Structure 1
Amino acid sequence: MKLPHVHPLKTIAQLINCHYVGPDDFPVEGFNEIHVVRPGDIVFVDHPKYYDKA
Structure 2
Amino acid sequence: MKFNQPLTLQSLALQFQCDFVGNPELSVEGINEIHRVVEGDIVFVDHPKYYDKAL
Common fold by TM > 0.5: yes
Moved more, 17-26 or 2-11: 17-26
User: What is the Cα-based RMSD across aligned positions, in Å?
Assistant: 1.4
Task: Give the paired residue count.
Answer: 54
Specify the SS of the correspondent of 2:14.
Answer: helix
Please identify which structure carries the higher helix content. Answer: 2
Map of 2:35 onto structure 1: 35
Report the alpha carbon displacement of residue 19 of structure 1 after superposing the two structures with TM.
1.6
TM-score (norm 1): 0.83
Map of 2:51 onto structure 1: 51
The one-letter amino acid of 2:50's match is Y
Residues 2-36 of structure 1: per-residue CA shift (max 9 Å, x gap): 00100001000011111233323110000000000
TM-score (norm 2): 0.82
